[in-house]
């Protein structure tokens, strides 16, 4: 998609897309319910704010405030801040490798000295990369077919992806190139431009899995989880049990058993298994349907953007929410090997939640400045 949008009188101050905002609100609200259900058995008698649910709620409020602010900022400011923001995010990734906090064998967190607050720079890097690539693609009319036009977005993806792989964080290291590749496709890059990067990426991922013991263990646990149900396949088998127990309508909200020390990391990467057990396949389909509605509405907002930067920004930010949701659902159902990707809005993770709501704010910023009807871009 290239060129300028067909001339059409824009509607000043057009309201944000109601479907997108409604879907995001429902997902965030249900996330609170799911986190409370998954963590309440272990909350103890301390301060509610100090519990996982309390911290999630505080992050939700902070994220809503940030989304509201971002939705009102002029898009021109993001074009100016795009590359400095990307450099800052990469700097945080480097700092994580040098002085990050290691948890479960991965060095993915930075802790602010003196306050004891940890955050995950990977979530900021994904958002910063989307904004930077949108700004680079918007600099020129026409599809990015020349090597010089393709190299800049590729570099913006590969640097943070390489830093993430070193943490190690294969999930997010794969997500960033996927996002950038989709943005290049929408910009009109020829399919042949994806051939060699795809092949090289597959080889790199295979090499990563073979040389990393934890990644190889996850792969073997995925291939035959029942044969390794007491080791690498334990988490996936317990997820299957949760889906089986939930059936069509679930055992009842709050009545699930898999969260009681059976399913590891139940409130983070495998929160969808809690949903499956307690509200059944119907509840899971409702959650996935909300993500589908969010994606469709976000793409509609992107198509209605007044300029190329708004188009790429809204599209990339929408994918930033939709792609991890697809991958997380695939992991929990055993469709792809296990990787550490949270389910946006639902999984516990303060940085991920705030970053997801920031992406919502960026899409709404484009929606506020969109035409009344979707714009059509000439090829």
Residue 250 domain flag: yes
Find residue 109's DSSP bridge partners.
101
Residue 13 lies in a domain: no
- CB of 341 closer than 8 Å to CB of 171: yes
Residue 12 lies in a domain: no
Among residues 118, 116, 336, 92, the alpha carbon closest in space to that of 219 is found at: 336
Question: Mean pLDDT across the stretch 75-92?
Answer: 93
In the chain, the number of structural domains is 1
Residue 373 included in any domain: no
**β-strand 117-119 against 101-103: which pairing, if any?**
unpaired
pLDDT tens-digit readout, 344-378: 999 998 999 999 999 999 999 999 876 544 444 43
In this structure, are residues 140 and 308 in contact, taking their beta carbons and an 8 Å threshold?
no
* Residues 63 and 358: beta-carbon distance below 8 Å: yes
pLDDT at 371: 56
| 379 domain-assigned | no
Asked, for residue 6, whether it belongs to a domain, the answer is no
pLDDT at 273 over 80: yes
Rounded distance, CA 374 to CA 241, Å?
44
The whole-model pTM stands at: 0.88
Residue 130 CA to its chain's centroid (Å): 11
Contact between residue 301 and residue 359 where contact means Cβ atoms under 8 Å apart: no
Give the up-direction half-sphere exposure of residue 106: CA atoms within 13 A in the CB hemisphere.
Answer: 22
Backbone angle region of 296, left / alpha / beta, with phi > 0 → left and psi within -120 to 50 → alpha: alpha
User: Has residue 3 been placed in a domain?
Assistant: no
Rounded Cα gap, residues 297 and 154, in angstroms? 27
**Rounded mean pLDDT of 284-290?**
96
Q: Which domain holds residue 73?
A: 18-368
Average pLDDT value over all residues in the chain: 86
pLDDT band at 45 (very low <50, low <70, confident <90, very high): low
Query: Is residue 243 a contact partner of residue 256, using CB atoms and an 8 Å limit?
Result: no
Peptide bond into 241 cis (omega under 30): no
Tell me: the pLDDT tens digits for 139-190? Answer: 888 888 888 889 999 999 999 999 999 888 888 999 999 999 999 999 999 9
Residue 367 makes CB contacts below 8 A (sequence gap 6+) with 14, 15, 16, 17, 20, 301, 304, 314
In this model, does residue 245 exceed pLDDT 80? yes
Find the range with the poorest average confidence among 214-218, 249-253, 358-362: 214-218
Give the CA distances from residue 150 to residues 86, 140, 171, 190, 197, in Å, rounded to whole numbers and listed in that order.
Answer: 18, 12, 24, 10, 11
Residue 353 lies in a domain: yes
pLDDT tens for each residue of 86-140: 999 999 999 999 888 877 777 888 887 776 678 899 999 999 999 999 999 998 8
The residue among 138, 169, 132 whose CA lies nearest residue 154 is: 132
**Residues 357, 360: Cα–Cα separation, whole Å:** 5
């Amino acid at each position: 998609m290239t060129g300028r949008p067909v001339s059409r009188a824009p509607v000043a101050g057009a309201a944000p897309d109601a479907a997108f905002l409604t879907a995001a609100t429902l997902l965030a609200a249900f996330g609170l319910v799911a986190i409370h259900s998954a963590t309440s058995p272990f909350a103890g008698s301390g301060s509610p704010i100090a519990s996982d649910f309390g911290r999630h709620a505080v992050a939700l409020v902070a994220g809503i405030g940030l989304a509201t602010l971002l939705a009102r900022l002029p898009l021109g400011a993001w074009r100016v801040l795009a590359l400095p923001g990307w450099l800052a995010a990469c700097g945080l990734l480097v700092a994580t490798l040098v002085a990050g906090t290691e948890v479960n064998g991965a060095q993915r967190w930075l802790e602010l000295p003196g306050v004891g607050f940890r955050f995950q720079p990977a979530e900021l890097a994904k958002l910063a990369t989307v904004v930077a690539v949108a700004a680079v693609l918007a600099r020129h009319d026409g599809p990015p077919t020349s090597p010089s036009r393709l190299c800049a977005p590729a570099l913006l993806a590969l640097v943070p992806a390489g830093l993430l792989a070193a943490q190690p964080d294969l999930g997010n290291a794969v997500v960033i190139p996927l996002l950038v590749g989709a943005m290049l496709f929408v910009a009109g890059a020829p399919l042949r431009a994806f051939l060699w990067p795809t092949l090289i990426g597959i080889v790199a991922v295979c090499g990563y899995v073979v040389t990393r013991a934890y990644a190889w263990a996850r792969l073997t646990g995925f291939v035959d989880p029942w044969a390794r149900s007491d080791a690498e396949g334990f988490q996936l088998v317990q997820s299957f049990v949760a889906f089986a127990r939930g059936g069509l309508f679930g055992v009842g909200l709050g009545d699930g058993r898999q969260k009681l020390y059976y399913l590891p990391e139940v409130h983070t990467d495998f929160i969808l298994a809690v949903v499956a057990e307690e509200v059944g396949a119907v509840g899971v389909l409702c959650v996935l349907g909300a993500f589908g509605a969010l994606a469709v509405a976000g793409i509609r907002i992107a198509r209605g953007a007044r300029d190329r930067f708004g188009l790429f920004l809204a599209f990339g930010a929408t994918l930033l929410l939709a792609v991890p949701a697809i991958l997380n659902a695939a992991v929990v159902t055993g469709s792809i090997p296990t990787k550490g990707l949270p389910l946006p809005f639902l999984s516990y993770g303060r940085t991920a939640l705030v970053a997801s709501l920031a992406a919502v704010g960026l899409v709404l910023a484009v929606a506020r400045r969109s035409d009344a009807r979707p714009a059509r871009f000439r090829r």
